[in-house]
Amino acid sequence: MGPYGSGKTQTLYFLEYYLKTQPPNSAKGAPRTLYVTIEMRGNSNAAHLHMQLMEALGKDTVAVWVRKLFR
């Protein structure tokens, strides 16, 4: 969410590279990155983004990830 050309995509690619090459010590396993196509409008907010991400990933996928965190 920001103006065209402000570096949003480049920032995301950098975060992907950083997580793959220097995973945090707190990570349980190797961090994974994925690309999700979501629909955003000019008046969208963080709650809308979160809802779109959860719908794109699916409840079962998120549930598995959460269970793995608390093993």
What single DSSP character describes residue 25? Answer: T
pLDDT in tens, the chain (71 residues): 678 888 888 999 999 999 999 988 888 778 888 888 888 888 888 899 899 889 989 999 989 988 988 87
Residues 6+ apart with CB under 8 A from 8: 1, 2
Q: How many CB atoms lie within 10 A of CB 16?
A: 15
